[in-house]
Structure 1
Amino acid sequence: MKRMMIFLSMLLSVVLLGKEVNITILGTSDVHGRMVPWNYSTDKADFSGSYSQISEVIKDYRQNNKNVIVVDIGDIIQDNYIEKFINEPQHPAMTALNEMKYDIIIPGNHEFNFGMDALNKVFKQFDGKVLSANIYYKTGERYLEPSTIMTVDGIKVGLIGATTPLVEQFEEESGNVKDMRFAMPADEIRKEVQNLKKQGADVIVLLAHMGLPNENNIPGTGVVDIANEVSGIDVIIAGHEHKNVSKQVVNGTIITEPYRYGAAISVVDLKFNVDAKGKKTLINKDAKTISVNSEKSDKKVEEIYAPYSEILIKDANVKVGETANDMVPQVLVKGIPSIYMKDSGLSTLFGDVQIYYSKADVVSFLVDNKKAVLNKGDIKKKDIANNYQYTSGETTVYELTGKDLKDYMEWSAAYFDTVKPGDTEYRYDPVRGASKYMTYDMFGGVKYKIDLREAPGNRIKDLRLAKGNKKVTDDMKIKVGLNAYRYEMLVAKGGPLEGRRVDPVWDSKTAFGEEEGTIRNMTIRYIRDAKKGKIDGKAHGYWEVIGIE
């Protein structure tokens, strides 16, 4: 009798109050080729994050939660040398994501680094859905499905994909997306919200390979703008900016972003009430990020990647040549790594390589590694990759004026904060230093000093061409070699060269090919061929940062 009363009480509760349905969405983004816990640039184990570790977390969630959706927000197939397998019959990343039972992936900007034919082949191998609402062929036809509804335990979950519209700008010089159009996302997302609601979606989730703030100061390129402009979005899982955003609420929309390199997962929890008449109401939503650091690694994913990993480790250890001296002093110069404070053997090498092949007067480059190191002795492929970390980086030459060059250099020098009286250490600018992108470029082929006692815009001193020691004047014509990605940032709205766009006169990928034209591979070829395997590793001493005695 007692059991009967409990049963009737529970039945009455369901009739009066309905049932509760919980759905969890797990989101990853910007894993950039970290399939297993191994960094192929350093050739060392790295358990800070990877898909094989993420897989174990996903398994735990599925074991303890009835309703789990798993999504990736893009930048999957580039970096950590995974691009070596872009033309494999079966791409290892898709094999792994299928094994992990991902439901949806969104193309990130780096998915387009390899051309549309290669990308189409990769996407066809994925068992789930690939979504993006704002990518079209120039004929007007959609490239991908814009959205989908997944019915989970009776709840219709509407999911919309979006990709940063700046892909066209990023890939302008490569021609990789010459037949594609990337629309500004707000209107496209708004249409999909309306379509999904007409189809009876109970909740709307935007999956966007876009950061929270607008990119390059272009309105509508960040998801905060999207949340403010488009009503009806319950949750946004963002990416692209490489930030760890546990939860931010904008205009009633929860936004989360799962950092980078597989180091974190965004966890979105949705709670619904379903009443006796079947009416479904979202009664709670929440989000957080969880660290993957030091998680164990899924042996099945490791097994999938093992033959590819073996190839990469063998290739990373191929000897390129030798240096007679240590190339980067392993010290801090008043709080900042020495690589950024004074011309070194490494910065000299990257400058000389680009000038040798491009015949430019001046070149720029970025060493996005605060722990840059290349010691006396053997130079291996992994040493080049560890110190020049932008996999696809190339040299494109533009004919600029002396004023253009100086404005560019002043912009770069503004990466540092102004030195104040009494300061004992240098500092990065608090905004630019916290950005996803390092935007401090070094320059070869010119002599200069950066005086951080001066305000931004007036820091470049004694600027002269290294060849002939000729002073750089505003109207001087100079061939400047730099990465096309950086050039597009410079000439974009709000950039230091806004409105001064010129056509390139030479680029290394046209000259040498998509792979051989990268700065990494030009450096390898320079050491092997031009220098016959031996470099002295010494600095030219062309530049330095000053300001604190």
Structure 2
Amino acid sequence: MRVQSVFPRLLAAGAAAILVAFVACTVPGPISQLPGSSRSASALSDSVDLIVASTTDVHGRIRAWDYFANATERTRGLSRAATIVDSLRNTAPGRVILLDAGDLLQGNPFAYTVRQESGKQPNAIVAAMNAMKYDAAAIGNHEFNYGVAYLDKAVSEARFPFLSDNTYRLDGSHAYKPWTIVERAGIKVGIIGATTPGVLVWDGENVRGKVTLGDIIPAVRQSVSEVKAAGAVVVVVTVHSGLDEPSSYDTVATGVPSENVAARIAREVPGIDLLLYGHSHREVRQLMIGNTLLVQPKNWATSVSVAHLTLARAGGKWSVVQKRADLVQAAGFVEKPEILAVTQRTHDATISVFTAPVGTTPVQWRSDSARLKDTPIVDFVLETEREATGADLASTAVFATDATFGPGPVTGAQMAKIYPYDNTLRVIRINGKQLRQYLDFSSRYYTGRITPRGTLETDSLIAGYNFDIVAGVDYTIDLNQPVGSRITRLVYKGKPVRDDDTFTFALTNYRQGGGGGYSMLTGSSVIKETGSIVPILLQEAVKRKGVIKQEDYFTQNWNIILPRAAR
């Protein structure tokens, strides 16, 4: 099945024309002079405008296709970003650098299919990036989701370097290239890459005994010195780390350095001209911290950052004299045919596997209110986990509040929509005190206030996927109470839970490793490692049942007491 662009040629041409105009009007000084102007060629040669185009957190969105909905994705996709990059290169030949800030190899059904094909077919994600002629990419934490060997194979297939100056082999040597140098218009540009050390928390079992990650700040400081010693005139850092958000894990309990340090890099490491960062799935057109320009394009190839570094030559030496950036949205650009061609076979295979029915259901299942009340769709995940492990309790998060399926056929894509990450399931032993702390910590997602629209206010610094729901125990969250005292009812099999009660608890490797800051689990003994990938487990559960019914899974076991102002 070949995807055709849904955009008329006129719209695509208009978007390209706007981009060309954007590039032209943002080139300052002598670069903007047209042929035939009064400025001499020698004057023009004393100034040059380098363009750094960048993406981040693509997460397998290579083509403009929504595999969950089995429909064209109108606003994003690396295949659309490729057309933006081509327009830049046509407008500024020999002056464009293309970078990515990591999290490429995991995140949607296409990426999962690429992983399943590993060893049989070339990596289609890397093939697309090769076709786009990326100059470098930082390694993101999700690059480790399928293990170091899988990442190393992807690196070996790339015609560009994957960079991470704070990832080391056990002998202390760099596991991946820390930096590279490219040349544009006769000017050497040093490109440094770094990775959030949270990998040690979220993918500890995948990297343990193979690689380790250190603090980003000293590693980048060292790399800046090295690229300058190697002749770099311009220094660019591409880092898979948020700006300055609180770490999602307990840095003290885990001993792992901070997760989000892009702002600190700019403040603490001199000599950086441009810093591309990602990880937080936000979008920042431009931000100046000291003398460093920071940019963050939107995740899933929704936008491309276009940064301009203007250099002037004086006394035979080049220096950056002006910096600015903007964002170009992917919506409106046609997909580049070459990207479609190199990914076609994997695209077809993904659609074939993920759209095939795995069972049926007589009713509709919805997740739109799943963070507000107990729902059958969440209980389906939880009870499937409990059945697979035999655990007393199980936990999950609501990853998408727009997931829905039924009535009718149930597909693998719909299961992946409910649980989009390839986390594995394990069982630990916890006590009653830890369980209460766990549930109370989860409740901090809600501030306890009501918005002007009359809805429950959530903490903007806490991701929705860090609000966990637990099955196997009955509990009440009272939002009138402060965090730390919100679990006002906690009952197991009709009896109040005591601090010294013990339970077997099914949860993911991400959460048990400390992901989301659930430090009360630190030190809990793992009594079973299933190795089962949660979305695959859900698919298999539907296949076994044939027909899934809400009454087979749903048990009302938790509720929220609203703030008094809302009653």
2:238/2:277 contact within 8 Å kept? yes
Q: State the match for 2:436 in structure 1.
A: 406
The runs of 5 or more residues in structure 2 that have no matched partner are 1-34, 252-256
Q: How does 1:23-102 map to 2 (within 5 A)?
A: 23-66=50-93, 67-81=95-109, 82-86=111-115, 87=118, 88-102=120-134
Q: Secondary structure at the match of 2:386?
A: helix
Q: Secondary structure at the match of 2:221?
A: helix
- In the TM superposition, residue 186 of structure 1 has moved relative to its aligned partner by 1.2
Q: Are 2:403 and 1:376 equivalent residues in the alignment? A: no
Q: Are 2:149 and 1:117 equivalent residues in the alignment? A: yes
Q: State the match for 2:25 in structure 1.
A: none
The runs of 5 or more residues in structure 1 that have no matched partner are 1-5, 330-336, 510-516
1:77/1:110 contact within 8 Å kept? yes
2:148/2:206 contact within 8 Å kept? no
The AA in structure 1 aligned to 2:510 is: Y
Q: State the match for 2:225 in structure 1.
A: 194
2:198/2:258 contact within 8 Å kept? no
Q: State the match for 1:332 in structure 2.
A: none
Distance 1:365 1:190 in 2: 39
Q: State the match for 2:423 in structure 1.
A: 393
Alignment TM-score, normalising by the size of structure 1: 0.89
Q: State the match for 2:23 in structure 1.
A: none
Q: How does 1:57-456 map to 2 (within 5 A)?
A: 57-66=84-93, 67-81=95-109, 82-86=111-115, 87=118, 88-172=120-204, 174-213=205-244, 214-216=246-248, 218=251, 220-221=258-259, 222-275=261-314, 277-328=315-366, 337-390=368-421, 392-419=422-449, 424-432=454-462, 435=463, 438-456=465-483
Distance 1:9 1:247 in 2: 33
Q: Against the structure 1 CA distance between its residues 7 and 309, is the aligned structure 2 distance closer, same or farther, given a 3 Å change threshold?
A: closer
Between the two proteins, the alignment pairs up a number of residues equal to: 515
1:522 aligns with one of 533, 537, 543: 537
| 1:359-395 superposed Cα distances (whole Å, 9 cap, x missing partner) | 11111101211112123332221221112222x1222
Q: Against the structure 1 CA distance between its residues 183 and 526, is the aligned structure 2 distance closer, same or farther, given a 3 Å change threshold?
A: same
1:348/1:444 contact within 8 Å kept? yes
1:384/1:520 contact within 8 Å kept? yes
- In the TM superposition, residue 55 of structure 1 has moved relative to its aligned partner by 0.5
Alignment TM-score, normalising by the size of structure 2: 0.86
1:134/1:188 contact within 8 Å kept? yes
1:480 aligns with one of 483, 497, 505: 505
The AA in structure 1 aligned to 2:497 is: V
Q: Secondary structure at the match of 2:334?
A: coil
Q: State the match for 2:27 in structure 1.
A: none
Q: Against the structure 1 CA distance between its residues 10 and 190, is the aligned structure 2 distance closer, same or farther, given a 3 Å change threshold?
A: same
- In the TM superposition, residue 252 of structure 1 has moved relative to its aligned partner by 2.3
- In the TM superposition, residue 59 of structure 1 has moved relative to its aligned partner by 0.6
Q: Secondary structure at the match of 2:237?
A: strand
What RMSD over aligned residues (CA atoms) do the two structures have, in Å? 2.3
Q: Against the structure 1 CA distance between its residues 264 and 9, is the aligned structure 2 distance closer, same or farther, given a 3 Å change threshold?
A: closer
Distance 1:393 1:116 in 2: 16
- In the TM superposition, residue 8 of structure 1 has moved relative to its aligned partner by 13
Distance 1:281 1:312 in 2: 48
1:395/1:519 contact within 8 Å kept? yes
| 1:230-267 superposed Cα distances (whole Å, 9 cap, x missing partner) | 11112110011111011122232111111211111111
1:256/1:289 contact within 8 Å kept? no
Q: Against the structure 1 CA distance between its residues 98 and 497, is the aligned structure 2 distance closer, same or farther, given a 3 Å change threshold?
A: closer
Q: State the match for 1:506 in structure 2.
A: 528
Q: Against the structure 1 CA distance between its residues 546 and 84, is the aligned structure 2 distance closer, same or farther, given a 3 Å change threshold?
A: same
Q: Against the structure 1 CA distance between its residues 312 and 10, is the aligned structure 2 distance closer, same or farther, given a 3 Å change threshold?
A: closer
